[in-house]
Amino acid sequence: MSETIKLHCEIPDELTGMRLDQALAQLFPDYSRGQLTKWIKAGEVMVDNTQRRPRDKVHSGEQIQIRATLQVQDDHWQAEALHLDIVYEDEEVLILNKPAGMVVHPGAGNHQGTLVNALLNHAPSLIHIPRAGIVHRIDKQTTGLLMVAKTLRAHNSLIGQLQERTVLREYQAVVGGVLTAGGTVDAPLGRHHIDRKRMAVTDSGKPAVTYYRVIERFRAHTHIRCKLETGRTHQIRVHMAHIRHPLVGDPVYGGRMHGKGLSEACREAVTGFRRQALHAGVLGFEHPASGELVSWEVPIPDDMQQLIHALQTDMTITESS
């Protein structure tokens, strides 16, 4: 689905001598510089009725005419009356606490019941925002905070902050093995060379950095907090498996959790945990309208709380025996 964009302006004195793409980014802040550059290259931007290159200089008084096509949400994305756990909402942004089991975007085999379907029902105007306003995602079985842009200005701002790595994203996880201290995993990630649905540490991958620190140690597991510098697909899951501390319950990267040496109740809690024990608990960024630094925090969900309680109880049994 597409929408025709019609824009017009005159180059002001203060932008004389600036590159065309840079000038347009200042004149039309609702659109990213990358999007504007694509329009220039496609011949959809006219300067005094002539086509220019992105690097061409502009001059005071020149008339800018933009008639371009903006791709918006897919025609097959339908609104559905599904429950949303809304943490915060204003005219620019919406912050959600996603439950386990909910897919973010519709795709093959998941055309309904996704977060996008629910968002389009809650805020129909998101049909006019690329990808229905979702600028980042978390895995189907990961819980926690997601930010949604409700305007093109917010979309441009949040995408830019993600690219500049200034968005605060902190996760909590339960991993196998006992970590003695926090640390950093700096290892590039890319598609697995055989299984293209999986990610892997590979020299040809994109840079990926995860910081982690210990919250609590148990007999054979550790409760940790992770902070992302980058936001690659499955980043925490792959990075922790890479250092041989996979997430409890991870069906792809975790391997089988035997629960050896644990009490029976604790072993059942660990082996019976059917999703990766990962929760996006903290999210923060610069508000697109006010410029104020804003942040939110939501507690870990009940299933992770029960898992951690079982591990704590196991430690108590061990220490008293």
The number of CA neighbours under 13 Å toward the Cβ of 88 is 16
Q: What's the rounded Cα separation, in Å, for the pair 111 and 16?
A: 49
Encoded tokens for 235: 């980043």
Q: Side chain identity at 262, as an amino acid letter?
A: L
Q: Residue 314 carries which DSSP code?
A: H
Residue 316 CA to its chain's centroid (Å): 37
Q: If you compute the radius of gyration of the chain from its CA atoms, what whole number of angstroms results?
A: 23
Cβ distance 295 to 188 under 8 Å? no
Residue 314 annotated as catalytic = no
Q: Residues of 8-34 as b/e, b for ≥16 C-beta within 10 angstroms?
A: eeebeeebeebbbbbbbbebbeebbbe
13, 48, 56, 139: the catalytic one is 139
Active site residues: 139
